[in-house]
Amino acid sequence: MKSKLSNTSRVLLLIAAIGLVIVLFTPIWRIELSAPQYPEGLGLTIHANGLRGNVDIINGLNHYIGMKTLHNEDFFEFTILPYCVVFFAVAFLLVAIVNKRSWLNILFISFVLFGIVAMFDFWRWEYDYGHNLDPNAAIIVPGMAYQPPLIGFKQLLNFGAYSIPATGGWLFIGAGILSLICVILEWRKNRTLKRNFIPGTAIVVTIASFLLNSCNAGPEPIVTGKDNCYLCKMTITDTKYGAELVTKKGKRYKFDDIHCLRSLVKAKSIEEKDIKDIYLVDFAGDHSLVKTGESFLLQGDNIRGPMNGNVIAFKNKDSLKAIARQLKGEETSWDKLTK
């Protein structure tokens, strides 16, 4: 059984090592906050050695709801993380130089385990940050927690929080994917290789699939009594008039009335190039979300949505025709409504 690595694998390991060095000089993760009072948004970036961005402003806002203030010296991770990154950069380089498949397997498993531990530690910090609140805070919402999303979008009161890897994070993920490719190349080249590293392969594939699915986020069910309309800020009490907009970054904006969504789109509050999909709630049936291009719309004076909207949507034309006879409405289209 051959133990040498192919030249392709060695080159990929060298590229991964260089990428990890760059991680030291770029942000690893970013959290963006958006709200009506901050139209340009607030940003927080996490580097290997500390926090950057609108830290002071975010601390000021969080003080009112009892969240801890953020200070680099409170995180021991910023002391050890740069050394961990350097360690793995050197490890990738050494494996390429030593040129042994067994070392590649060890590196692969170690790198995946480190990634899992790092993500768990990040989640643990977010949980404590969002749940361990000051009981004497100026603003207290019973039962409300403010844990930011680990990845993707989450609505926190009137703030939308968006969390995703930054340049350094993608480089780190890229290093893991390159090591996975090396493992697969060596396995294909040596089919008699023992499969003691296959669990690690499954872990990396799972992580990569999770990230890809997060980047292709779809709609989220509208929850009555909990979700608020993004535009009018009213609590959504009846979903059958509702709608939802999903951006290409995975942010979700929910509305209690198609009228609110229509107003936001026509005002171009969200650029058209940033919109991934728009969904309307099926007025009939199970009130599921249907893409605008696949829905049938009914407009009429007898239709009264929560915000005096006069449009409702259906996922099939037969349902529309049945309701149209009752409400004496006329069929229309999303394109006509947003001209």
Interval 264-285: pLDDT, tens: 998 888 888 889 999 999 998 7
Q: Please tell me which residue, 298 or 189, carries the higher pLDDT value.
A: 298
Residue scoring higher pLDDT (96 or 64): 96
Report the relative pairing of strands 159-165 and 29-35 from DSSP bridges. antiparallel
Model pLDDT for residues 211-267, shown as the tens digit of each residue: 445 445 678 889 888 899 998 888 998 899 999 999 988 888 999 999 999 999 988
Beta strand 50-53 with 252-255: parallel, antiparallel or unpaired?
unpaired
For the segment 289-293, the average pLDDT, to the nearest whole number, is 91
Residues, the chain:
339
> Beta partners for 281?
289
Residue 106 pLDDT level (bands cut at 50, 70, 90): very high
Which pLDDT score is estimated for 35?
82
Q: Classify strands 243-247 and 252-255 as parallel, antiparallel or unpaired.
A: antiparallel
Kindly report, residue by residue over 130-167, the tens digit of the pLDDT.
788 888 877 777 777 778 888 888 887 778 888 999 99
- Residue 63 scores a pLDDT above 90: no
Distance in angstroms (rounded) separating the CA atoms of residues 158 and 65? 13
